């Protein structure tokens, strides 16, 4: 299948490479020339913008940072809408505000262009090994048609409902992940402050009800003082901002998500926005006066 791919960042680049590995023909664009060159070296064709891609491809994947970038890629100057038609389908795999997914889809529909919102979870490691989780909103028949294409990048692809539903599911995921990381960080810092080895506490509780995929992914990083980003604080802030905007639009209080936002804003204040979201532990270390990092 000939596929357009817009956005070759931390997640988009390995996802695009997995499509090439699966035998798909790609036409790609990104502001980062080195990322485009990397995909071209893998067999992709470079394009200047979404309009150029839409001339060649009926299905176009967008994987860009936030709502304004999706809007620009789809509706802006040089956007998909300029040359797309009733045969064009946009699979937006970015994580954005679901109200914007609906608005952008409505504008594309005026030209007959179909859109699904298909955000992903799993971070860079799962993007590389092709095991991300994909949550899809849009027409069920469009989802069914492109399920196999999405599975070429994923370990799980689930239909959630009409347009916007994919990003609702993604934001719910980000709420749970943020709260889970914070709970792990708080608990391990508590253990250290109480004089108990936090690594042994982690080993003791990980097999019980407190155990989780998040705990097993992030506790070892916290204990090692490894904050190399799989998912950056600044991106989680973006997602939580979308959570707050979407929740307030429907008069839904989200006090735990709001607290997670404040913790991450504190980390940003200290220059940690480029670090992995497991660095939330630094907030607890600062307010408790101890560090859980293992000593050599």
Which residues are part of the catalytic machinery? 170
Q: Over the range 25-50, which residues count as b (16 or more CB within 10 Å of their CB) and which as e? A: ebbbbbeeeebbebbeeeebbbbebb
* Partners of residue 92 on adjacent β-strands: 62, 117
What is the token pair recorded at 287? 């307010």
Q: Over the range 161-176, which residues count as b (16 or more CB within 10 Å of their CB) and which as e? A: eebbbbbbbbbebbbe
Reference 153, options 19, 42, 57; nearest CA is 19
Distance CA 244, CA 234 (A): 15
Reference 135, options 99, 176, 92; nearest CA is 92
Angle between helix axes 67-75 and 98-109 (nearest 10 degrees) is: 10
DSSP conformation letters of 143-162: HHHHHHHHHTSEEEEEEEES
CA of 154: how far to CAs of 10, 15, 43, 148, in Å? 15, 9, 21, 10
Distance CA 173, CA 57 (A): 31
**Number of Cα atoms under 13 Å in the Cβ half of residue 296:** 1
């Amino acid at each position: 299948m000939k596929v357009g791919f817009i956005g070759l960042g931390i997640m988009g680049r390995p996802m695009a490479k997995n499509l090439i590995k699966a035998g798909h023909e790609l036409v790609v664009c990104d502001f980062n020339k080195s990322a485009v060159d990397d995909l071209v070296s893998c067999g992709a064709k470079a394009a200047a913008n979404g309009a150029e891609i839409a001339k060649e491809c009926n299905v176009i994947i967008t994987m860009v940072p936030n709502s304004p970038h999706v809007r620009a890629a789809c509706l802006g100057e040089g956007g998909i809408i300029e040359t797309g038609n009733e045969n064009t389908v946009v699979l937006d795999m970015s994580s954005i505000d679901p109200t914007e997914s609906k608005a952008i889809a409505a504008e594309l529909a005026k030209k007959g262009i179909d859109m699904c919102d298909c955000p992903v979870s799993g971070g860079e490691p799962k993007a590389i090994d092709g095991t991300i989780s994909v949550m899809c909103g849009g027409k069920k028949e469009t989802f069914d048609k492109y399920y196999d294409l999405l599975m070429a990048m994923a370990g799980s692809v689930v239909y959630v409902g009409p347009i916007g539903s994919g990003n609702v599911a993604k934001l719910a995921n980000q709420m749970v992940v943020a709260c889970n990381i914070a709970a792990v960080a708080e608990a391990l810092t508590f253990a250290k402050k109480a004089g108990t080895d936090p690594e042994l506490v982690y080993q003791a509780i990980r097999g019980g009800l407190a155990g989780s995929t998040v705990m097993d992914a992030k506790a070892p990083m916290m204990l090692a003082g490894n904050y190399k980003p799989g998912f950056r604080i600044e991106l989680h802030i973006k997602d939580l901002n979308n959570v707050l905007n979407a929740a307030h639009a429907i008069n839904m209080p989200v006090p735990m998500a709001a607290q997670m936002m404040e913790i991450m804003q504190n980390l940003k204040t200290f220059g940690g926005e480029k670090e992995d979201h497991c660095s939330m532990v630094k907030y607890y270390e600062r307010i408790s006066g101890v560090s859980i990092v293992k000593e050599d």
